[in-house]
Chain A
Amino acid sequence: MIRFENVTKAYPRSARPALDDISLEIVRGQFVFVVGPSGSGKSTMLRLVIREEPTSSGSVLVAGNDLGLLPPRKVPRLRRQIGTVFQDFRLLPNKNVTQNVAFALQVLGRPNRVIKTLVPETLELVGLQGKGRRMPHELSGGEQQRVAIARAVVNKPAILLADEPTGNLDPATSLDIVRLLASINKQYGTTVVMATHDNVIVDELQRRVIELENGVVVRDEEQGTYVPRAESPVAHPAPGHEHPADLWTNPDADWAEEHVRGED
């Protein structure tokens, strides 16, 4: 469904590339977490999938399209197969819940009768039945994110990208949101790629985990957890730190010595 082949993405005014020679494949119907610290390249990866930006080198293939060869006028067609959800929800503040979800169909020119059946259906799917007339500011954060998810999936996309969708939510609500994504993944076979910082969620769901660091895939495991299971620095050395002894001090080490090291 999504394939990265030796993808490098460098921004003009940045010393190191945001993504550095990444190759990976996400198959149809998979649920994938992309984890890693801020600036590790998670968002860049998602932006490349919706062809928000071109790659610097290498190719990204999405739903059978080589995005590097995709003419600009065909980009909208690609994006219709992809739903996207963000940390900041991005709802239209002057439209109510129903209108926000319907907007995604209206701008695609879908007929009214289709919109009238799809929107309530989708609101029910995300657990917002009966709240169609609420305005975004009248909703809790979790509810707002549900609206955003409804808008992302109302057109039944093959892929759902979520860029830190729980970043603004409390832990319990976050879990509800991810469970919703998981149920969409299960119910419709939608490929879900979720970038996150949330270790609880990742550990709870036990799905494929791709860990990025400095634009490089440092870990890719089926049914992974947020931090490597075998919690050992030797197992997954960060690039440039192949000698973990440099990084990790002996627990018995003298505090004074540690202090001196810090002043280097």
Chain B
Amino acid sequence: MRLRFLLGDVWVGLRRNLSMAISVVLVTMISLFLLGLGLLAQRQADVMKGYWYDRVQVSIFLCTATSRTPCTGPVTEDQKQNVRSQLEQLRPLVKEVFFESEQEAFDRFREQFKDSPILGNIKVGEIPSSYRVQLSDPSKYEVVASTFENAPGVSSVQDQKQVLERLFTILNKFTRYAVALAVLMVLCAVLLMATTIRQAAFSRRREIGIMRLVGASNMAIRLPFIAETLIAALVGAGLALGLLFAAMRALVGDNSRNVVLRQVAIGTTDIWHIAPILGGMAFALAIITSTITLWRYLRV
């Protein structure tokens, strides 16, 4: 079959069955968009893990005058020294230790909440001083926690990783929902493609009859249908990518020039990374669905 003849045939077929072709495009678009969202959420989680796991700290908050139990009063200099030396003993698990004084903590707090009315009620000494400990292996947080929880002068031990974990859980859930929805929509897309092909085959039964009669090969008879489905699916994949770009712009904005944001959040370049997956998915869906449908309904 000559390419020009094939393309002409495909063009006529798509035009004749325009509403069905459009529905295939749209359903493919939505299913791949959802799949894309799932993949992007996963990438976001990976990016965050990569960035934050190196930086997460365990904070050992020391008692202030207003701290509740187990504190019995503001931390003493001895207690501070004690904590400090115990931390030194935990090397090499403890990679680095910073001490944040009450003044520094207050300054940081003031900086963070400078536009908030909450600031007026806070005085120096109410924000606890703390040891910020960076671990060589963030997963061994428990070692630090068990050593310092209930130690004299320590009000609490907090792991930033736990805060992050909660975020990851949300992202993972989002991924799961998106992918589950995507699977449903892919099923819709497959069924719709199959129906479309059957209808197209029916509306072209005369041509098919003649083709069979004059001895056109199976491939020659089936190729226009496969090509039509493929084109519709790939257009759907293209639109899905467009939607993902639009969604990314709306949610994250253009972060390609923002050095910090680029390290913690996915950006438009990540869409390019998942584009081959979505394209491949559309390709495989179209080829497999049309081949099976034609095999069932177009015996030669």
Contact = CB atoms under 8 A, between A and B. Distances in A.
B216 A76 contact: yes
Contacts of B300: 72, 75-76
Contacts of A151: 210, 214
A107 B216 contact: yes
A104 interface: yes
B164 interface: no
Nearest to A103: B210
A84 B214 CA distance: 8
Interface in B1-59: 1-2, 5
A262 interface: no
Interface string A80-115: 111110000010110000000001101111011000
Interface residues of B, number: 18
Given A106-B5, A107-B1, A80 B206 contact: no
B210 A79 contact: no
Nearest to A108: B216
B218 A76 contact: yes
A76 B210 CA distance: 12
Contacts of A80: 214-215
B214 A109 contact: no
Contact of A79 (B206, B207, B215, B220): B215
Given A76-B300, A92-B206, A92-B207, A108 B220 contact: yes
B2 A104 contact: no
A73 B221 CA distance: 13
A109 B1 contact: yes
Interface in B195-228: 206-207, 209-218, 220-221
A128 interface: no
Contacts of A82: 215
Given A80-B215, A155-B214, A107 B220 contact: yes
B210 A104 contact: yes
A79 B214 contact: yes
B15 to A, nearest CB: 12
A93 B203 CA distance: 13
A150 interface: no
A13 interface: no
B211 A107 contact: yes
A85 to B, nearest CB: 10
Contacts of A83: 214
Contacts of A60: none
Nearest to A111: B2
Contact of A90 (B2, B210, B215, B216): B210
Given A72-B300, A90-B206, A92-B207, A108 B214 contact: yes
A78 interface: yes
Nearest to B204: A92
A50 interface: yes
Interface of B: 1-2, 5, 206-207, 209-218, 220-221, 300
Interface of A: 50, 72-73, 75-84, 90, 92-93, 103-104, 106-109, 111-112, 151-152, 155
17 contacts: A76-B212, A76-B217, A76-B218, A76-B300, A77-B215, A78-B215, A79-B215, A80-B214, A90-B206, A92-B206, A92-B210, A93-B206, A106-B1, A106-B2, A107-B214, A108-B214, A152-B214
Given A92-B207, A107-B210, 5 more contacts: A76-B216, A76-B217, A80-B214, A80-B215, A103-B210
User: What 4 A-B pairs have minimum CB-CB distances, sorted nearest first?
Assistant: A79-B215, A80-B215, A107-B216, A104-B214
